């Protein structure tokens, strides 16, 4: 290639680059490229054409300023394929297509007439393909005569194909910066002004890592002023570690032909920033060093992204209240310790800590006070432990300490765990202070010694949890080591969980119903009481399995079974005309279910199955459930009322509800607990409590039902006090549905 041709080629290339970056309509840019190419070719028989295709593979635009008028319009809408002339085939097959004689080439057999009409005899076409390997269009040279390209012409064809690609890609990505492009001219200084507003930094480096050009990005992200780094190497400008990283990446790009991506940090005027860099080989020519190879380094500030990732990681692995590691991080670290123990045949320990009496404080004073206590507990505990240990909050008032150092014997680990447990107990010698008050708390601790015999992290937690519960049973504020007896308890709980799952699947859970009567003895409703009818063990009382059901998340399914039985009962009673419209079925609701976001919809779905209105059903909640987030509780209760449900406070007087809020709850009924009914005849104070509850309810316009009425004397005393209803063995025990039908039929015949 002669030097004059090289100069013409490079000059044309620079001119085209200026046209591209100074913006303007894409068609104008493509026309200018064609004109430049034809000047370089310097052959009146050569005509440049640039086609653009859309996502459907149709030719939808382009430029061909010297082709016969009408040809460009004639090819619009043609769908590219394997035999669609030079351009269509090149785009379809993503390869250079050289046709020296259009009239004899099979690629043109469907378009020969078109070519003849415009006196086109040869066509060399190169597909324009972006970095994602997507075809954008084609760059072609048409000839008025039969012709084959020279080596120089092929080289120019390739170069101007790349320039055309750049123009089309820039057009597709220029919507946000088009207002800038329109203000820039062809000068290199205006090019720099345009690129300087781009968020990314771009540097052209030679193979010696010498800075040649800089584009884009705010100067706030430059490590040095341009005058201090242009024409200098990265070793001259950057810190040693960053310079070494860039040099290694440049070397790898030039030797492997593959792009390199990495991250680095620099303390720039904008502050300590993290950059994501990508290095790609670049065809860039220096007139004084034509054999020098070059790369472009694109650096993007990802500091905000990194900060966001760290924030997400914090949410994923840390408790948002105490900022301690959460269960997920604990499990990850515990698994690492387990692997180490199994490899090294050593021992470690885990301590499971639960605050004594915290639930009572939390229920009576609310979550905000409870949260402040938990934060202060975490702050008090953290100084006790070594940096190698993990203190985590895994839920509620439950904390876990993982001793990550391993020992050669269980005795050494047990001794160390005992020392840690004593320090924890000592930390609670002084009250925990909040802005409102001080609270004397204790801690019950369970310790599991971890050996290579332990199979999984869940086993360790369950063992320590079981030991912690034993500490509570033995008097609280102490620590207990796990032993095989506790493992038996864990195994029994797991077995019970499996039994509950099977019982749900096989319909073993059902509701028994205990009648409720008014002062005349007339039946006004029933309360649905959960029973587990086990095929081998008979009727299993709820207290023996409900805690496990709640612990393993099965309580919702069980309560839905009870509510479905309640609906089924009401439907059958109404069909048998054994009840009137005032008859209600009371159903107990657990705290877990009441707080579930799907709770109300689940009830409504079951009612819809039986085509029943909600006003036939009374939902019973306990006092302690009401003091959790009072505003949300009131909202939940008001929504239930809006659907027609009636609401009752069960076992009134045994919880921790505040009388200050009682008037705000939209309740219909209070139930006097059996413990008060039992004491009614024992003393005047017992009667005073009953009188106080009834008086309070009367003043609030709330009905009262007395539970646990077992004697006629209790009944007569309550009749004098005008309670709304009575429930107890004096009238009837809880019954299965067939027995209830029989009982109601007998009651009807007596009346």
Angstrom distance (rounded) from CA 663 to CA 84: 83
Angstrom distance (rounded) from CA 81 to CA 355: 74
Buried b / exposed e over 113-129, threshold 16 CB at 10 Å, is ebbeebebbbbbbbbbb
Angstrom distance (rounded) from CA 668 to CA 619: 10
Nearest to 679 by CA among 698, 662, 692, 668: 692
Q: How confident is the model at residue 424 (pLDDT cuts 50, 70, 90)?
A: very high
Examine the pLDDT at 415 and tell me if it is beyond 70. Answer: yes
Instruction: Encode 707-732 in three state secondary structure.
Output: CCCCCHHHHHHHHHCCCCEECCCCCC
Place of tokens 């269960």: 327
Stretch (H or E) spanning 52: strand 46-53
Q: How confident is the model at residue 181 (pLDDT cuts 50, 70, 90)?
A: very low
Angstrom distance (rounded) from CA 672 to CA 709: 10
Angstrom distance (rounded) from CA 390 to CA 406: 14
What pLDDT does 180 receive?
43
Contact 542, 548 (CB under 8 A): no
Cα separation values, 210 from 188, 237, 298, Å: 20, 10, 15
What pLDDT does 489 receive?
65
Q: Is the pTM of this model over 0.75?
A: no
Angstrom distance (rounded) from CA 45 to CA 42: 9
What pLDDT does 516 receive?
94
Rounded average pLDDT over 255-265: 88
Q: How confident is the model at residue 493 (pLDDT cuts 50, 70, 90)?
A: confident
Examine the pLDDT at 653 and tell me if it is beyond 70. Answer: no
Long-range CB pairs of 30-39 (<8 Å, 24+ gap) are 30/62, 30/63, 30/164, 30/167, 31/63, 31/65, 33/63, 33/160, 33/163, 33/164, 33/167, 34/63, 34/64, 34/65, 34/66, 35/65, 36/12, 36/160, 37/12, 37/141, 37/156, 37/160, 38/66, 39/12
Question: In degrees, to the nearest 5, what angle opens at C-alpha 569 toward C-alphas 563 and 573?
Answer: 150
Nearest to 527 by CA among 571, 580, 583: 583
Phi, psi of 311 (to 5 degrees): -65, -40
Q: For residue 519, what are its two tokens? A: 């002062």
What digits encode the pLDDT tens for the residues 235-249?
888 888 888 998 999
Of 511 and 230, the structure prediction assigns the larger pLDDT to 511
Which domains, ranges and CATH numbers included, belong to the chain? 3-178 (3.30.450.40), 198-307 (3.30.450.20), 320-482 (3.30.70.270), 513-526+556-750 (3.20.20.450)
Residues with Cβ < 8 Å from 6, sequence gap 6 or more?
none
Contact 95, 103 (CB under 8 A): no
Q: Three-state SS for 244? A: helix
What digits encode the pLDDT tens for the residues 455-490?
788 889 988 998 998 888 888 888 888 876 555 666
Instruction: Encode 625-672 in three state secondary structure.
Output: HHCCCHHHHHHHHHHHHHHCCEEEEEEECCCCCCHHHHCCCCCCEEEE
Residues with Cβ < 8 Å from 601, sequence gap 6 or more?
none
| Minimum mean pLDDT range among 219-223, 262-266, 303-307, 710-714 | 219-223
DSSP structure string for 104-121: T-GGGTTTHHHHHHTT--
DSSP structure string for 168-222: HHHHHT-TTTHHHHTT--SSHHHHHHHHHTSSSEEEEEETT-BEEEEESS-GGG-
Q: What sign does the CA torsion over 217, 218, 223, 225 have?
A: positive
Q: Are strands 584-588 and 617-622 parallel, antiparallel or unpaired?
A: parallel
Rounded average pLDDT over 619-644: 83
What digits encode the pLDDT tens for the residues 289-301?
777 888 888 888 8
Contact 620, 593 (CB under 8 A): no
Which of 395-404, 648-657, 679-688 shows the highest mean pLDDT?
A: 395-404
Nearest to 246 by CA among 206, 216, 196, 292: 206
Stretch (H or E) spanning 529: strand 523-534
Examine the pLDDT at 3 and tell me if it is beyond 70. Answer: no
Examine the pLDDT at 183 and tell me if it is beyond 50. Answer: no
Beta strand residue intervals within 66-173, DSSP E:
97-99, 122-129, 135-143
| Minimum mean pLDDT range among 39-53, 386-400, 620-634 | 620-634
Long-range CB pairs of 575-579 (<8 Å, 24+ gap) are 576/741, 578/741, 578/744, 578/745, 578/748, 579/523, 579/744
Contact 526, 586 (CB under 8 A): yes
Q: What sign does the CA torsion over 229, 231, 237, 241 have?
A: positive
111 CB neighbour count, 10 Å cutoff: 19
Contact 363, 656 (CB under 8 A): yes
Nearest to 579 by CA among 515, 626, 530, 528: 515
Buried b / exposed e over 252-277, threshold 16 CB at 10 Å, is ebeeeeeebeeebebebeeeebbbbb
Of 633 and 64, the structure prediction assigns the larger pLDDT to 64
Rounded average pLDDT over 706-716: 90
Angstrom distance (rounded) from CA 628 to CA 20: 65
Angstrom distance (rounded) from CA 718 to CA 694: 10
Considering the chain, what percentage of its residues have pLDDT values greater than 90? 30
Rounded average pLDDT over 70-87: 90
Q: What is the mean pLDDT of the chain?
A: 84
What pLDDT does 12 receive?
63
Examine the pLDDT at 616 and tell me if it is beyond 90. Answer: yes
Q: How confident is the model at residue 641 (pLDDT cuts 50, 70, 90)?
A: very high
What digits encode the pLDDT tens for the residues 739-751?
999 999 888 777 6
Nearest to 217 by CA among 272, 256, 268: 268
Contact 578, 745 (CB under 8 A): yes
Place of tokens 């190698």: 388
Helices first, then strands: H and E counts in the chain: 29, 26
355 Cα distance to chain centroid: 30
Angstrom distance (rounded) from CA 394 to CA 386: 19
Q: For residue 491, what are its two tokens? A: 């195994």
What pLDDT does 141 receive?
94
Q: How confident is the model at residue 184 (pLDDT cuts 50, 70, 90)?
A: very low
């Amino acid at each position: 290639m002669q030097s004059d041709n090289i100069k013409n080629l490079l000059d044309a290339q620079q001119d085209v680059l200026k046209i591209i970056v100074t913006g303007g309509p894409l068609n104008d840019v493509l026309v200018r490229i064609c004109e430049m190419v034809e000047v370089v070719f310097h052959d009146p028989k050569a005509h440049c054409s640039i086609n653009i295709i859309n996502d459907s593979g149709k030719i939808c635009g382009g430029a061909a300023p010297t082709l016969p008028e009408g040809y460009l319009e004639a090819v619009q809408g043609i769908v590219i394929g394997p035999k669609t002339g030079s351009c269509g085939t090149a785009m379809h097959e993503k390869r250079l297509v050289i046709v020296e004689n259009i009239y004899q080439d099979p690629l043109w057999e469907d378009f020969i007439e078109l070519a003849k009409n415009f006196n086109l005899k040869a066509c060399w076409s190169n597909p324009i393909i972006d970095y994602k390997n997507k075809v954008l269009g084609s760059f072609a040279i048409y000839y008025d005569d039969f012709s084959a390209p020279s080596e120089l012409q092929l080289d120019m064809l390739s170069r101007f194909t790349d320039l055309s690609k750049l123009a089309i890609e820039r057009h597709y990505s220029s919507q946000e910066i088009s207002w800038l492009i329109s203000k820039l001219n062809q000068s290199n200084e205006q090019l720099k002004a345009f690129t300087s507003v781009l968020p990314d930094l771009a540097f052209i480096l030679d193979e010696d890592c010498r800075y040649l050009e800089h584009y884009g990005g705010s100067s706030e992200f430059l490590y040095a002023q341009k005058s201090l780094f242009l024409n200098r190497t990265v070793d001259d400008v950057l810190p040693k570690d960053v310079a070494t990283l860039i040099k290694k990446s440049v070397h790898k790009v030039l030797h492997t032909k593959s792009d390199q991506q990495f991250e680095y940090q620099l303390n720039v005027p904008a502050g300590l920033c993290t950059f994501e860099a990508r290095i790609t080989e670049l065809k860039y020519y220096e007139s004084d060093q034509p054999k020098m190879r070059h790369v472009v380094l694109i650096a993007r500030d990802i500091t905000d992204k990194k900060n966001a990732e760290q924030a997400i990681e914090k949410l994923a692995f840390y408790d948002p209240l105490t900022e301690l590691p959460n269960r997920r991080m604990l499990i990850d670290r515990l698994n690492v310790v387990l692997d180490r123990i199994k490899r090294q045949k050593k021992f470690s320990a885990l301590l499971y800590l639960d605050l004594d009496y915290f639930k009572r404080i939390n229920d009576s004073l609310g979550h905000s006070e409870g949260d402040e206590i938990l934060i202060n507990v975490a702050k008090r505990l953290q100084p006790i432990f070594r940096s190698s240990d993990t203190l985590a909050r895994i839920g509620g008032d439950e904390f876990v300490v993982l001793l990550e150092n391993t020992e050669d014997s269980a005795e050494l680990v047990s001794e160390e765990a005992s020392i840690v447990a004593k320090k924890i107990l000592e930390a609670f010698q002084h009250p925990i202070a909040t802005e409102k008050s001080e609270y004397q708390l204790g801690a019950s601790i369970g310790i599991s010694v971890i050996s290579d015999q332990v199979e999984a992290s869940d086993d360790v937690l369950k063992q320590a949890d079981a030991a912690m519960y034993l500490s509570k049973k033995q008097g609280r504020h102490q620590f207990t080591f796990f032993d095989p007896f506790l493992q038996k308890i864990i195994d029994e709980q797991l077995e019970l969980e499996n039994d509950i799952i099977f019982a749900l699947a096989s319909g073993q859970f059902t509701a028994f119903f205990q009648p409720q009567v008014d002062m005349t003895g007339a039946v006004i409703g029933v309360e649905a009481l959960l029973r587990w009818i086990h095929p081998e063990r008979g009727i299993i009382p709820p207290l023996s399995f409900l805690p496990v059901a709640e612990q393993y998340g099965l309580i919702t399914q069980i309560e839905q079974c009870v509510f479905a039985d309640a609906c089924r009962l009401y439907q059958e009673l109404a069909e048998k005309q054994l009840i009137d419209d005032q008859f209600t079925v009371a159903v107990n609701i657990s705290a877990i279910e009441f707080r579930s976001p799907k709770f109300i919809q689940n009830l409504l779905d079951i009612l819809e199955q039986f085509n029943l209105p909600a006003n036939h059903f009374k939902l019973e909640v306990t006092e302690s459930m009401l003091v959790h987030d009072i505003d949300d509780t009131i909202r939940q209760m008001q929504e239930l009322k809006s659907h027609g449900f009636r609401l009752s406070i069960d076992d009134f007087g045994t919880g921790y509800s505040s009388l200050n809020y009682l008037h705000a709850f939209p309740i219909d009924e209070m139930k006097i607990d059996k413990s008060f009914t039992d004491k009614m005849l024992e003393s005047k104070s017992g009667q005073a409590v009953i009188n106080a509850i009834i008086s309070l309810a009367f003043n609030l316009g709330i009905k009262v039902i007395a539970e646990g009425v077992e004697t006629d004397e209790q009944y007569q005393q309550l009749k004098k006090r005008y309670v709304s209803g009575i429930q107890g063995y004096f009238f009837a025990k809880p019954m299965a549905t067939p027995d209830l039908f029989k009982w109601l039929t007998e009651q009807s015949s007596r009346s």
